[in-house]
Amino acid sequence: MKPPFQTQANGRTYTVVDAGRSFYEALITGTVVDEVFGDFFNPGFAVQTSRPDLGVNAADTGLYAVTGHRGQSFPQITPTTYQVNLVLSAPGFRDSPVQVTIPPGATFPVPAPVVTMRRLPVLIQGRVVSDTTGAPISAAQVLSVDNPTPPPHSLATALRLPLYFAHALGASAQQVTFTSTGTAPLASDVTGGATVLSLTTRAGLAAGSVIRLANVSQTLVEYGVVDHLGPGSAAAAGEVFLRNALNRTYLAGTATTVQFGTVAAAGAAVSLTADANAGDGVLIASALINVTTVAVDQGNANEEYHEVGALTDSDGYYGFEGMGRVVEIYLRASQGASTQTQDWFVEYDQGVNVVDFQL
């Protein structure tokens, strides 16, 4: 400490005593990586904290430091454990929350856990046409497949529509068969995001029942699990409340086929080798699941059912929403004996990736 000294200002003499020093320093340091490409670079990378006593310095390369006065921010550091909550964000990536533990007697700066930043998914769409005539091919199937050149490379299964719920690493994915036990037309249109169906009859439905909605061409096929029925007799028209919100819009009348029934496991289950976010259109698992219908987390509160792969419409167009999590994906279009496989490096800086096929 400096000895006291005097200074004059405005005709007065002041004695200045250096009573102590406070250091503004890095209290937490951290880094992020890109889930797909590894190395991270994003000029918009930012770190937020709700604590006004802490500041943040963040670099384009994903390095960051949380700064402040240790005595002010962690005044009882010897006997106390502190938790600091941060949110890491960058354009084109999902926000990533992280909690940093400041243990008793911590040595600063405390390293934060390395965070893997997950890119926002994109849309892959395209057209399947005849190689000889250029005419569109309807009802062609488009699947994600493994690398045709060994060793195996890609185990990402593309779904016809994105996931409704998040699923943990190790969750089960199981081929199932759907057996219809009844049908009932929609009494009114249902829009994407809805969790309530209005049916002309609910006979045979109960909590846990599975409902299948499909348009005429089967390019849209979607499943819902019943949470409960609305008031009134099950045999009469009424509302059905689903556990999951539907992805797409379905029209009343003959435009939509509504079936309800049972599902049964078929074949061996596989495990997710990467956790999944709601809105993902792929499952990363220990094996490809190129079956007709797959169940994820069957038997749990967030169970859901999906068709695998896409079908082209009458103009030959198909689409996969929620495509991400991988550097590249192998897509195969087929109709009858005609097939074509393409290796596609996903362009995450483009919201729409176009992949066309000629059969």
Strand ranges, E, within 118-237: 122-129, 141-145, 156-158, 172-183, 196-199, 210-215, 221-229
Cα-Cα-Cα-Cα dihedral of 176, 177, 180, 184, to 10°?
Answer: 50
Band (153; pLDDT cuts 50, 70, 90): low
pLDDT of residue 10: 72
Regarding the domain delimited by 24-117, which CATH topology (the fold level of the hierarchy) does it fall under?
Answer: Immunoglobulin-like (2.60.40)
Does position 167 have pLDDT exceeding 80, yes or no? yes
Band (152; pLDDT cuts 50, 70, 90): low
pLDDT of residue 151: 62
**Residues 210-235 pLDDT 10s:** 999 999 999 999 999 999 999 988 78
* Residues 93, 353: Cα–Cα separation, whole Å: 17
Band (22; pLDDT cuts 50, 70, 90): low
Using DSSP's 3-state secondary structure scheme, residue 151 falls into coil
Phi-psi region of 192 (alpha: psi -120 to 50; beta: other; left: phi over 0): beta
Q: What is the mean pLDDT of residues 53-80?
A: 94
Long-range contacts: 17-25, Cβ < 8 Å, 24+?
22/69, 22/71, 22/72, 23/69, 23/70, 24/67, 24/68, 24/69, 25/67, 25/68, 25/69, 25/70, 25/108, 25/109
* Residues 309, 161: Cα–Cα separation, whole Å: 9
Query: Mind giving me the DSSP string for 228-244?
Result: EE-SS-TTSSEEEEESS
- For residue 162 the two structure tokens come to 């994105």
Domains in the chain: boundaries: 24-117
Does position 192 have pLDDT exceeding 80, yes or no? yes
- For residue 157 the two structure tokens come to 């299964």
Using DSSP's 3-state secondary structure scheme, residue 254 falls into helix
pLDDT of residue 236: 85
pLDDT of residue 20: 53
Does position 23 have pLDDT exceeding 80, yes or no? no
pLDDT of residue 184: 92
**Residues 26-46 pLDDT 10s:** 999 999 999 999 999 999 999
- For residue 218 the two structure tokens come to 């089967």
pLDDT of residue 199: 94
Q: What is the pTM of this model?
A: 0.86
pLDDT of residue 6: 75
SS (H, E, C) 106-125: CCCCEECCCEEECECCEEEE
Cα-Cα-Cα-Cα dihedral of 52, 53, 58, 63, to 10°?
Answer: -130
Query: Which residue, among 217, 215, 216, 213, has the nearest Cα to 226 in the 3D structure?
Result: 213
Q: What is the mean pLDDT of residues 225-252?
A: 93
Q: Could you give phi then psi for residue 195, rounded to 5 degrees?
A: -120, 5
Query: Which residue, among 53, 61, 6, has the nearest Cα to 28 in the 3D structure?
Result: 53
Helix (H) or strand (E) holding 309: none
**Residues 109-134 pLDDT 10s:** 999 999 999 999 999 999 999 999 99
Helix (H) or strand (E) holding 31: strand 24-34
Share of the chain above pLDDT 90, in %: 85
- Better-predicted residue by pLDDT, 136 or 21: 136
How many other β-carbons are positioned within 10 Å of the β-carbon of residue 229?
18
Query: Which residue, among 115, 103, 110, has the nearest Cα to 79 in the 3D structure?
Result: 103
Q: Could you give phi then psi for residue 343, rounded to 5 degrees?
A: -90, 120
pLDDT of residue 24: 74
